Amino acid sequence: MVEDNRADVFLIRESIEAACTGATLFVVQDGERAIRFFEEADRDPSAPSPDIVILDINLPKKSGGEVLSRMRLSQRCAHAPILIVTSSNSEKDRETMALLGVNGYFRKPSVYEEFMKLGGLVKGMLEVQSDSRSGSRP
């Protein structure tokens, strides 16, 4: 997860745990750290490599778009699905992220119950990713 807002990190983590994904979550707070995470995965085969990336658009140091562009160049991380989780409701942001190859877009709601739906979305994306790695078809 690449997210700089601690409250959002808490809610995202809670929604994922509530969906019983069993996922191990790595959190970085800015775009530069996210890029370093992907570079480390490429340099060190024992370093973690994401099965899915939850990415905010508005990040300090490097934007979500810059992070996404760099990730798509990574040997080990390029094929991981990207789920944008953002407060932006801008059509331009949606179009830009779609052109960069995101797999999903979730606008952060102001209602807790709506936010908890994110966990099911992440779980579904992880299941699809797992099926594609094992050769199964949904």
Quick one: pLDDT at residue 128?
79
pLDDT digit string (tens) for the chain, length 138 residues: 999 999 999 999 999 999 877 788 899 999 999 999 999 999 999 999 999 999 999 999 999 999 999 999 999 999 999 999 999 889 999 999 999 889 999 999 999 999 999 999 999 888 877 666 555 444
Quick one: pLDDT at residue 23?
81
pTM: 0.88
Phi/psi at 2 (5° precision): -115, 100
* Residue type at position 75: Q
Tokens matching residue 24: 């191990």
The architecture (CATH level 2) of 6-132 comes to: 3-Layer(aba) Sandwich (3.40)
DSSP letters, the chain, are -B---HHHHHHHHHHHHHTT-------B-SHHHHHHHHHHHHH-TTS---SSEEE-SS-SSS-HHHHHHHHTT-TTTTTS-EEEEES---HHHHHHHHHTT-SEEEEPPSSHHHHTHHHHHHHHHHHHHHHHHHT---
CA proximity to 87, closest of 69, 68, 104, 110: 110
N- to C-terminal Cα separation, the chain: 25
